[in-house]
Amino acid sequence: MLLVHPVHEVLRQLPLLVGAIVLGSATGNPMWAVAALAVTVGLGLARWFTTTYRIEPDEVQLRTGVLQRKMLSVPRNRIRSVQTDARLLHRLLGLTVLRVSTGQEAKGDGAFELDAVDVGEVPRLRALLLARSPAPAGVAAPAPGTLLARWQPSWLRYSPLSLSGLLMILAAIGVASQAGAGEALQRSNVGQAGLEAAERFGAAATVTVVAVAVLVASVLLAVLRSLVTYGNLVLKREPGTAGADGAEAGVLYLQRGLLRVREYTYDMRRLRGGTLRQPLLVRAFGGARLDAVMTGVNGAGESSLLLPSCPAATAEAVLAGLVDDPEVVSGPVIAHGSAAARRRWTRALVLPVLAGVVLAVVASTVGTPLGLWLLWAVVTAAAAALAADRVGSLGHRVSTGWLVTRSGSLERRRDCIATAGIIGWTVRQTLMQRRAGVATLVAATAAGTKRYEVIDVPAGQAWVIAAQASSWVADSIWAVR
């Protein structure tokens, strides 16, 4: 490990070293490069010598800093998850970065990060860190857990349905044009040949060819990205060591990535449910992705992701296993009634109808081309379909210990929240909602995205739902029976 740290430091400071080498060759004095290399290696060594960690009965401490000493201590009972992240280089050297996260979102300096821990050390460290009570000496490796899901190559079919590939292409074009690649291309032979070809084939054909090329490239990129980030994904549930309260909740273990391997270990006691997310296209092909709702894990983005887009049946089965109730995951939901439906329809159709009126007025005075009317018809039909789908997906369900809320069309989500984790209720009504006799019920939790909304329930139902889910609402002095 001692030899490895300077290597990391050298790689991390590679731009600086390249600069030093350039400077050295420019000034004709190679000592610049040697000095920079020596300083970097020295820094790496010093960093290794000055970084120590210790695991106390009630807290873990990390001391770092070459010139500026810093000590970070984390109470052990606040550790929510342990992650490892091994980039390619770390993997080649049999190392990994171990990250301990608490309820707070720690960034940069605040993060408890052990860079370059031996992979062999990780199971022992993880068991030690996640055990609530002081672990007995010589913790045995945890027993093999039950496999919840394993990545299948067939999951790749959902990856082109996201926009990530297209976004990557757009970003690349943006960077390239920033760097002046456009002008360079125009002057180059390839660019000239392309322009001539475009002139020969005509604008329409060129646009089609370019569009198809971008589409194919984005599909390839999206599939590749999905393969690299999620390939070899394994989701397991492992029995953990018994906590201070004697309950054995176990841990959730997630490993993913082909080149850069990331491992996440979540304390099951912190699991407050899960979210099934189905973007429209993924849903059309019967897919879904699964996010964990967990205290100490940000609800949005990559960090909460348990399964990427995969067959909905797989995602549902995994979530059902986690919440111990298949009805919560796939059972029917209660629709929100006609007022909510009317609001969805109004919202979707106000703009198309207004546009139609404008078009009609213009048509009666100046006359509009048929194409415009066709476009209007298509947009209106799409808006109507969207409204119908949004009405169809809106719903909620309260069963023993679980609140389920479903909404959305372009990005449909079904949130399953443990009612034990709900620490506040808000009933919110805008002026329009009061007139329509509906209300939005917001469940506040410490987990996931922190707020989970039940949109546009009939106003009289809002507190009934809250009371069904949380007995402390039903038992409060304000409850009228």
Nearer to another protein, 6 or 296 (CB): 296
Q: Where are the alpha helices (DSSP H) in 55-104?
A: 88-92
Which of the residues 172 through 201 are near another protein (CB under 8 A)? Answer: none
* In the block, residue with structure tokens 């739902």: 465
Q: Does 445 bind another protein (CB under 8 A)?
A: yes
Binding-site size for another protein (CB under 8 A) equals 43
Nearer to another protein, 232 or 430 (CB): 430
Q: Does 421 bind another protein (CB under 8 A)?
A: yes
Q: Cα separations (Å) of 304 from 85, 252, 309?
A: 15, 12, 14
Q: Which stretch binds another protein (CB under 8 A): 134-142, 217-225, 251-259, 427-435?
A: 427-435
Say how far apart CA 441 and CA 415 lie, in whole Å.
14
Say how far apart CA 380 and CA 382 lie, in whole Å.
5
CA atoms within 13 A on the CB side of 396: 26
Site string for another protein, 350-389 (x = CB under 8 A): ----------------------------------------
Taking the CB of residue 395, how many other CB atoms lie within 10 A of it? 20
Beta strands in 303-400 (DSSP E): 305-311, 395-399
Say how far apart CA 172 and CA 166 lie, in whole Å.
10
Q: Does 244 bind another protein (CB under 8 A)?
A: no
Nearer to another protein, 60 or 114 (CB): 60
Site string for another protein, 92-131 (x = CB under 8 A): -----------x----------------------------
- Which residue of 389, 425, 436, 457 would you call a contact of another protein, by CB under 8 A? 425
Say how far apart CA 454 and CA 407 lie, in whole Å.
8
Q: Does 473 bind another protein (CB under 8 A)?
A: yes
Site string for another protein, 53-92 (x = CB under 8 A): ------------------------xx--------------
Say how far apart CA 306 and CA 315 lie, in whole Å.
9
Q: Cα separations (Å) of 182 from 58, 168, 200, 369?
A: 59, 18, 21, 37
Q: Cβ-count burial of 354 within 10 angstroms (0-12 exposed, 13-18 middle, 19+ buried)?
A: exposed
Say how far apart CA 109 and CA 385 lie, in whole Å.
49
CB 227, min distance to another protein, A = 36
CB 388, min distance to another protein, A = 28
Secondary structure class of 434 (helix, strand, coil) = helix
Site string for another protein, 393-412 (x = CB under 8 A): -------xx-----------
CB 272, min distance to another protein, A = 9
Binding site residues, another protein, CB under 8 A: 77-78, 103, 270, 295, 400-401, 419, 421, 423-431, 434, 442, 444-447, 450-451, 460, 463-464, 466-468, 471-481
